[in-house]
Amino acid sequence: MNILILSALSIILAFLPPSLAEVNKAYQDERNKILQEEEKLRLGYDVTLQGDEEKADQIFLRLKQKELQDGFENVEKNLPGMHYYKAKPLLDESKVYQLIRKMPKGALLNVHPPGAVTSKWILNNILNKDNLRKCTNENGVQLLTFRKKFDGCKSESVQVSKGEAKEDWFNLYTPTPEVTFKSSEAAFNQLCDMFDRIDDALNYLPMLKAHYRQFLEELYADKVLYTEVRVKFSEPYDDTSKKYSLDDVVKEIENVVNDFKKTHPDFIGLKIIFAILRHGKEDEIRKNFDLYKNLRSKFPNTIIGLDFVGWEDKGLALQPFADDFTSATRDGSKLFLHAGETNQLGSTDQNLVDALLLNTTRIGHGYALAKHPYLMRDVKEKDIAVELCPVSNQVNSFVEDLRNHPGAILMSENVPVVLGNDSPGFMDFDGLNPDYYYAIMSLTPYQAGLKTLKRLVENTIKYAQLTDQEKTQAETLLKAKWNEFIKEILKEGE
Amino acid sequence: MNILILSALSIILAFLPPSLAEVNKAYQDERNKILQEEEKLRLGYDVTLQGDEEKADQIFLRLKQKELQDGFENVEKNLPGMHYYKAKPLLDESKVYQLIRKMPKGALLNVHPPGAVTSKWILNNILNKDNLRKCTNENGVQLLTFRKKFDGCKSESVQVSKGEAKEDWFNLYTPTPEVTFKSSEAAFNQLCDMFDRIDDALNYLPMLKAHYRQFLEELYADKVLYTEVRVKFSEPYDDTSKKYSLDDVVKEIENVVNDFKKTHPDFIGLKIIFAILRHGKEDEIRKNFDLYKNLRSKFPNTIIGLDFVGWEDKGLALQPFADDFTSATRDGSKLFLHAGETNQLGSTDQNLVDALLLNTTRIGHGYALAKHPYLMRDVKEKDIAVELCPVSNQVNSFVEDLRNHPGAILMSENVPVVLGNDSPGFMDFDGLNPDYYYAIMSLTPYQAGLKTLKRLVENTIKYAQLTDQEKTQAETLLKAKWNEFIKEILKEGE
């Protein structure tokens, strides 16, 4: 073919419009490329599934997508768009939820023990005790104590009577959250009252031990291998006049954990983040840093670091305590700072800036982080895990429909995320299951399956404060339990 | 000083801990630097305020921050966290809202005229007409018409009686949205019924003219200079048997606009985006592209482009029509595609990919865009404006508390944003005021003031389809009106 014919052909081709099929092909290719580029950014994209995992993923996705489709067609079945308390009675019917219940959860890294144990256990094991007394404090909040005389009481203390209805003393559940929790205030006020109410009853040594034991039992039943708990320390007491110190709290907890590990060799353990309540006067709060340093020096393996806890919007900011935090962590201990658990923008959420400046190891909640792209990139670069607690945020009325939870944004950019459940007992959760359910059904795309779940679970071990030996043990255990989980999914496909 | 002394001094200095004050200074400097870096990313950061504007900004911010503070302290006053229908009776008391009402709004670029005029006007000027008839269609939806015989009726059509209660026929307002609109379905069903209900009544030529005139009156009262409206075309009719075509609709609208401009020389005009309803069969929808090409060829100055409208989750996707869109815009006309008006992730929201592949000029709603960081960056790079409609999204139950609206994320990364109000009449809005109020109070930080508002308003002109001459005129008019607004704010400081 000579050059003239070639040129003529080129001209003809240039004028021929491409056939529809060709346009579509090019368009579809480009479309798929974009979808893939986007997919590459998401949490879990780089997880490799192998063998049975791939089959299990297909089964899981079929169930997930059917459930999303059913909800899309019938709003009464749309659990991913429903408040957890509305969805709760329906979740048992969900195949996805049933599988999530069987999934190993790795570690639980955001939890407050007083609020972690089921209200039913509290009702049956604390509230029915003959020597339990109640009174009201200076704010009119009802407190419980096993002491004959308790300084926290501003009213006379009286014995708690057997007949009293106590079901909702430690349970926020309501079938109509849209009415009960019209604002964060409504939920937080109740939640804070519960923490205040139980505080001194849990300082009673027999209860402290029984409560921690139950906490571990419930964690274990929830398929959690390891936990890092925020503990707000007070001196414990018993029926004698013996004085106890904060050291005794650590020792008692260590004893309970060691006991538990004897009967549950596949439980790795519990470490403590020293929690300072951010409410109160600056100088009072500051004294806690000394208590921390003292305790940390004595129990360096159990006490791993510190945090401020409590209602972030109404408590003190991190900023005034910057030097205290810096000084407290000179010994190599870590910060696990709650920051950005707020709907405010340009005020409370600035705790995120301080958390990062103070080199926090993880961020508690980080609800406001997605509105701070500069900080979000910093978090990702520094590989700081965000302890997302979606269902807790929902119960606390930060967000109604979890499809709007900012965790969706964080996960779309593969910001390191671990799921926590904050106060699962007081909030009437079913362990970590609701959080994992909403994460996979509401916060991630239609196409997100086991890769996402696996990464979320693996992250809890990756971002935990484990020794090398503990980490190896945890990874080995998790791997075995994950494989069992895969087998459970495969059964669904039979 | 010899080298030995210098070295010794260095060693001593290295061992001296910095004083607390020094730590704080360094810490504060670094903190401010981070806050500023973040600030630089936000929409409006690079706006320069001058002279009176700076003073006005201080006054505005004082009012804004007081209102946020009041709401923070008393949840009953927290309008920025309240559903618009809950806040509506309280907004008149808000100083910020009063100022927003005085602010020039530039252009309105996302609006559907049938749903744009106040329900009160419809009640007094359409629903009271002697020759208005009603019937039900095949889905049992009540339709209105001025025809004796209307094919849309599947029941007998009867005259609308004077005594009938019609207040809520075209008004979604409810004092208890949390009960009435438990899901997007509840609101969308009502909204779609309203569009269906009024459709044929507005095809009646005398009504078509009166309704557009009223639309312009209301826009003007809302301080809007210019608009681009989505029009779903049908053949109009009158009391004669004369046949009219789609051309007549354009001509009538042009006449109304020209008439209005005679008495309102500071109104710039109205252009039309040809809107195709995305509900129905693929081949039926496809025919509209030919109607579009025909109309566009005859009215290239008024018909600027096209879009798909309707309930995005329940209608057809953009993808099957990719070639049709490409072919329809070979004449240089533009696309203004609704995309991502959804809470779904990984399904309906993929319309965003198609909108971008089809080189859309703006994106309608883009509610799901923040969950797509790859697309979001593309939108920013290509300088495509997102027509945010926050209050419409709230009424349609995508989001309860507008502090969770994804517009906050878009604005935090300076994605080009313009505010629209979608169907302000049916939704009982007070023009664009609610959208601007929530944008400045709920979607942006405590520190965001006139720079943000100015950029939002200027954007509406920047991203409008104006000729160079029209743009110059719009900018000049807006500048003058903005300066009057600044004077109004200064009065608040006196």
pLDDT of residue B355: 98
What's the confidence (pLDDT) of residue B12? 44
* Main-chain dihedrals φ then ψ at residue A158, nearest 5 degrees: -125, 160
Q: A271 CA to chain B: closest CA distance, Å? A: 30
The mean per-residue pLDDT over the stretch B100-122 comes to 98
Predicted pLDDT at A162: 86
A21 Cβ under 8 Å from any chain B Cβ: no
Residues of chain A with pLDDT under 70: 1-23, 184
Q: Which two tokens stand for residue A14?
A: 């240039």
Q: Which positions in chain B touch A353 (Cβ < 8 Å)?
A: 31, 34-35
Secondary structure element (H or E) that encloses residue A351, with its range:
helix A351-357
Quickly tell me which residue has 């964080």 as its tokens.
A410
- Tell whether A343 is within 8 A of chain B (Cβ): yes
A346/B24 CB distance under 8 A: no
Report whether pLDDT(B31) > 90.
yes
Average pLDDT taken over every residue of chain B = 94
Which of B351, B374, B398 to probe the A interface (max A CBs under 10 A)?
A: B374
Residue of A nearest to B33 (CA): A353
Would you call B448 and A346 a contact, using CB atoms and an 8 Å cutoff? yes
Give contacts of A313 with chain B, Cβ < 8 Å.
Answer: 72
Distance CA B190, CA B37 (A): 45
Across residues B30-48, what is the average pLDDT? 97
Q: How many angstroms separate the CA of residue B161 from the nearest CA in chain A?
A: 35
Q: What integer pLDDT is reported at residue B186 of this predicted model?
A: 87
Is A183 in Cβ contact with B75 (below 8 Å)?
A: yes
- Percent of chain B having pLDDT more than 70? 95
At A201, list the tokens: 């009853």
Q: Which chain A residue is nearest to residue B349, measuring alpha carbons?
A: A445
Active-site entry in A338, A365, A372, A405: A365
Chain B partners of A444 at a C-beta cutoff of 8 Å?
A: 345
Which chain A residues in 310-329 lie under 8 Å from chain B, judged by CB atoms? 313, 319, 322-323, 326
Beta strand A362-365 with B142-145 is unpaired
> Which tens digit of pLDDT belongs to each residue from B426-443?
999 999 999 999 999 999
Residue A341 annotated as catalytic: yes
Q: How many CA atoms lie within 13 A of B315 on its CB side?
A: 24
Q: Are B407 and B417 in contact (CB under 8 A)?
A: yes
Over the Cα atoms of chain A, what is R_g? 26
pLDDT at A183: 74
What pLDDT, on a 0 to 100 scale, did the predictor assign at position A494? 79
Q: Which of A179, A326, A357 sits opposite B30 (nearest CB)?
A: A357
DSSP label of B386:
E
Q: Which helix (H) or strand (E) holds A307?
A: strand A303-309
- Measured distance between the N- and C-terminal CA atoms of chain A, rounded to whole angstroms: 61
Residue ranges per structural domain of chain A: 95-118+183-483
pTM for this entry: 0.94
pLDDT at B19: 58
Does B412 contact A371 at a Cβ distance shorter than 8 Å?
Answer: yes
Q: In terms of CA atoms, which chain A residue is nearest residue B20?
A: A323
CB-based contact, A372 to chain B, within 8 Å? yes
B279 assigned to active site:
no
Q: Under a CB-based contact definition with an 8 Å cutoff, are residues B399 and A404 in contact?
A: yes
pLDDT at residue A18, rounded to an integer:
54
Per-chain mean pLDDT for chain A: 94
How far from chain centre, in Å, is Cα B312? 16
The answer on pLDDT for B203 being more than 80 is yes
Asked if the C-beta of A412 comes within 8 angstroms of chain B's C-beta atoms, the answer is yes
Query: What's the CATH class of domain A95-118+183-483?
Result: alpha beta
Residue B185 is predicted with a pLDDT of 84
Q: Residue window 202-231, chain B: list those with CB within 8 Å of chain A.
A: none
pLDDT in tens, A18-53: 555 666 889 999 999 999 999 999 999 999 999 999
> What confidence tens digit (pLDDT) does each residue in A200-240 have?
999 999 999 999 999 999 999 999 999 999 999 999 999 99
**Inter-chain residue contact A446 with B412, CB threshold 8 Å:** no
Predicted confidence band of residue B271 (pLDDT cuts 50, 70, 90): very high
Planar angle of CA B412, B418, B422, nearest 5 degrees = 125
Distance from CA of B169 to the nearest CA of A (A): 24
Residues of A with CB below 8 A from B445's CB?
A: 345-346
Chain B residue closest to A86 (CA)?
Answer: B182
**What pLDDT is recorded for position B13?**
45
**pLDDT confidence tier of residue B182, bands split at 50, 70 and 90:** confident
Q: Which of B184, B321, B404 to mutate to test the interface with A (most CBs of A within 10 A)?
A: B404
